[in-house]
């Protein structure tokens, strides 16, 4: 069975929301376990936040296991041989590379070959760094735009898939990094109007970033 990439990304985003926002610790633990089976790099920020901040020990256990599966899929065999927390990771799980997502036979996890490109990851990280320095440096608008455009030219995202991935990755940054959320709220729609055009992201999508940030404050 082939899964459309946009549906896979939707699933990862939904699971991350459950992991960080659901009040039921059993639901949060299951979300962490499922993210480990999917093995998407996009889940790493949410899993790290759950590992560090969740008040339920089982959720933290599951988040830790999921991170290990994403970073080192080969560890799934070792984990199944020493089941500490009743995980059921008995199937081969691969990392994301480019391509479609396929599930074959009785495989428990999702075997896929699609991942955010290196440019998406680097661009997200660089954009976070630029935004985090705004309150301290308070650069003139033209200098901020020039720095932003330089980063975008260095790590261009041109395909629709990359832009979709960038949006998901940046949304997770807003949820997991309160400083980013606060900076977006302080800059408001004017900051969104500066960020979105050079990124090739619609202004309406940028407005959704503000709504996400509003929930964090």
Domain definitions of the chain by residue range: 2-112, 118-216
Q: What is the pLDDT of residue 217?
A: 63
Q: What is the pLDDT of residue 102?
A: 43
Cα 50 to Cα 200: distance, rounded to the nearest angstrom: 31
CA-to-CA dists, residue 64 to 43, 71, 96, 195, angstroms:
12, 11, 19, 34
Per-residue pLDDT of the chain (217 residues; tens, 9 = 90+): 667 777 888 888 899 999 999 999 899 999 999 998 888 888 888 999 998 888 888 898 889 889 888 887 665 444 444 444 444 434 443 343 444 444 343 333 433 434 557 888 889 999 999 998 887 777 888 888 898 999 999 999 888 888 888 888 898 889 888 889 999 999 999 999 999 999 998 999 999 999 999 987 6
Structure token digits, residue 193: 């109007």
Domain covering 2-112: architecture: Alpha Horseshoe (1.25)
Cα 181 to Cα 89: distance, rounded to the nearest angstrom: 35
Q: What is the pLDDT of residue 136?
A: 78
> 155, 154, 68, 94: which is closest to 120 by C-alpha?
155
Q: CB-hemisphere CA count at 13 Å for 128?
A: 22
Full-model pTM: 0.51
* Total residues found in the chain within this entry: 217
């Amino acid at each position: 069975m082939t899964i459309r990439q946009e549906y896979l990304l939707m699933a990862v985003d939904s699971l991350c929301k459950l992991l960080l926002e659901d009040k039921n610790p059993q639901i949060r633990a299951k979300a962490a376990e499922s993210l480990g089976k999917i093995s998407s790099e996009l889940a790493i920020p949410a899993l790290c936040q759950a590992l560090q901040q969740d008040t339920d020990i089982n959720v933290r256990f599951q988040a830790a296991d999921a991170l290990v599966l994403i970073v080192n899929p080969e560890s799934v065999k070792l984990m199944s041989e020493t089941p500490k927390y009743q995980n059921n990771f008995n199937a081969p799980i691969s990392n994301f590379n480019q391509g479609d997502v396929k599930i074959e036979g009785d495989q428990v996890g999702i075997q896929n070959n699609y991942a955010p490109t290196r440019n998406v990851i680097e661009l997200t990280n660089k954009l976070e760094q630029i935004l985090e320095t705004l309150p301290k440096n308070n650069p003139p608008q033209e200098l901020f735009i020039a720095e932003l455009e330089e980063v975008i030219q260095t790590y261009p995202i041109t395909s629709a898939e990359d832009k979709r991935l960038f949006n998901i990755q940046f949304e997770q940054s807003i949820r997991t990094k309160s400083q980013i959320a606060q900076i977006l709220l302080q800059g408001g729609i004017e900051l969104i109007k500066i960020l979105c055009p050079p990124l090739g992201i619609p202004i309406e999508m940028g407005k959704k970033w503000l709504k996400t940030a509003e929930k964090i404050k």
